[in-house]
């Protein structure tokens, strides 16, 4: 035991700096090799014409844009979401963009039996499955300590984790037959934390670990592409508050389209990872070798300047957004001990939304202009 402690102490002292030196010396060569490999795969990527692609969570956001990108490659496209009526319009546009055939399926991917139903339906109709693209995601905007109703915690984890695992589990035998590929939509919050997204980040981190492990288990018989996006609309995160900005929705739409193009291109090249933007990776070095520096930097970038004026979303405290202004304020701003109203019986706010603010990953954060309290947990689809 003493000898092992001594060995670990020596390794702790010398391995980190030695590893950094080796990486610094090898980086130019590795960068050149990776560039050559990327160029080769770009010209010899997978031809997707007539192949069968399933996109879950295809009714909006990143899932919708990924469906359009695959449609341009003339695939047989299967769109899966709970909102089947929304899929009809998307399927029509996918046909216009070049999809050979489009099938729409209404299903809840959190339920294994429904995943088995639509996977079997697709294989029975087309006779094969080539790509499974998991994009389902649900975010939240609350500080954990301020939540007064935790009934939706399991719901968040179900959608962000099991909503990806169940379709994968059912599809694996069919993907083996075609040496197919699984594409997963993750997020940078798995290792670069953002306030008010603790459960979302935890679920996405579990998702990445699951698929990294599965890649080793499958021994590359089935390809796995893990896509991570940065803070879409990051220019809207200022001083720790989510600000309303003219043209923000257009900016997020363009960023989602670019992200979808990168995902599909990377999947067809056979990339293990697609990162948008890739420069976020530099923070990983700081996380492991200088975590204090990273934490201090993030606190400065996302400083709340004292009051958590927008963190009230998801806490059961009332919020107001004044007409003609671009920043929210709460009705209890002058009170040191704000009253927490009783939770609503519905998991969503009953009042109509009046303003949509930019969320950390490009999704909407809805503030009600009514004086009725917002439900204790406000959730929104991020991608």
Q: Which residues are marked as active site? A: 200
CA 151 to chain centre: 22
What phi and psi, each to the nearest 5 degrees, are found at residue 48? Answer: -90, -5
- Identify which of 164, 201, 157 has the alpha carbon closest to the alpha carbon of residue 184: 164
For the record, the structure tokens of 294 come out as 């990273």
DSSP, collapsed to helix, strand or coil, labels residue 271 as coil
Cα-based distances in Å from 36 to 42, 43, 264, 323, 353: 10, 11, 20, 55, 50
CA atoms within 13 A on the CB side of 66: 33
CA atoms within 13 A on the CB side of 331: 16
Torsion angle of C-alpha atoms 256, 261, 267, 271, degrees rounded to 10: -90
H or E stretch including 8?
Answer: helix 2-43
Determine the Cα–Cα distance for residues 104 and 85; give it in Å rounded to an integer.
9
Residue 350 sits at the vertex; the CA angle it makes with 346 and 353, to the nearest 5 degrees, is: 135
SS3 string, 107-154, reads CCCCCHHHHHHHHHHHHHHHCCCCEEEECCCCEECCCHHHCCCCCCHH
Pairing of strands 223-229, 139-140: unpaired
What phi and psi, each to the nearest 5 degrees, are found at residue 15? Answer: -65, -50
Are 276 and 45 in contact, with CB atoms under 8 Å apart?
A: no
């Amino acid at each position: 035991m003493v000898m092992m402690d001594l060995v670990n102490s020596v390794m702790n002292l010398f391995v980190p700096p030695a590893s950094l030196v080796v990486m610094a010396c090898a980086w130019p060569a590795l960068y050149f090799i990776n560039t050559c490999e990327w160029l080769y795969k770009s010209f010899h990527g997978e031809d997707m014409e007539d192949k069968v692609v399933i996109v879950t969570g295809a009714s909006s956001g990143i899932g919708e844009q990924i469906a359009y990108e695959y449609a341009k490659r003339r695939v047989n496209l299967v769109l899966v979401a709970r909102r089947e009526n929304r899929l009809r319009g998307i399927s029509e546009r996918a046909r216009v963009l070049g999809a050979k055939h489009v099938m729409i399926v209404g299903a809840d991917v959190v339920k294994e039996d429904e995943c088995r139903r639509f996977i079997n339906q697709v294989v029975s109709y087309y006779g094969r499955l080539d790509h499974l693209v998991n994009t389902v995601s649900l975010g939240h905007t609350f500080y954990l300590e301020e939540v007064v109703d935790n009934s939706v915690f399991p719901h968040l984890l179900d959608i962000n984790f099991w909503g990806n695992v169940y379709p994968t589990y059912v599809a694996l035998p069919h993907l083996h037959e075609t040496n197919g590929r699984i594409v997963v939509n993750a997020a940078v919050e798995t290792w670069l934390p953002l306030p008010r997204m603790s459960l979302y980040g935890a679920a996405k981190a579990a998702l990445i670990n699951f698929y990294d492990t599965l890649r080793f288990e499958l021994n590359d018989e089935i390809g796995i592409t893990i896509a991570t996006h940065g803070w879409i609309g990051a220019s809207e995160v200022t001083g720790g508050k989510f600000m309303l900005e003219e043209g923000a929705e257009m900016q997020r739409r363009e960023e989602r389209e670019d992200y979808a193009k990168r995902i599909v291109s990377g999947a067809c090249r056979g990339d293990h990872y697609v990162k948008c933007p890739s420069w976020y990776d530099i923070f990983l070095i700081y996380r492991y070798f200088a975590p204090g520096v990273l934490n201090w930097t993030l606190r400065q970038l996302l400083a709340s300047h004292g009051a958590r004026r927008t963190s009230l979303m998801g806490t059961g405290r009332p919020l107001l957004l004044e007409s003609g202004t671009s920043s929210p304020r709460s009705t209890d701003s002058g009170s040191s001990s704000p009253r927490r109203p009783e939770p609503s019986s519905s998991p969503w706010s009953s009042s109509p939304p009046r303003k949509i603010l930019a969320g950390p990953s490009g999704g909407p954060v809805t503030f009600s202009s009514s004086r009725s309290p917002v439900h204790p947990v406000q959730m929104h689809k991020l991608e």
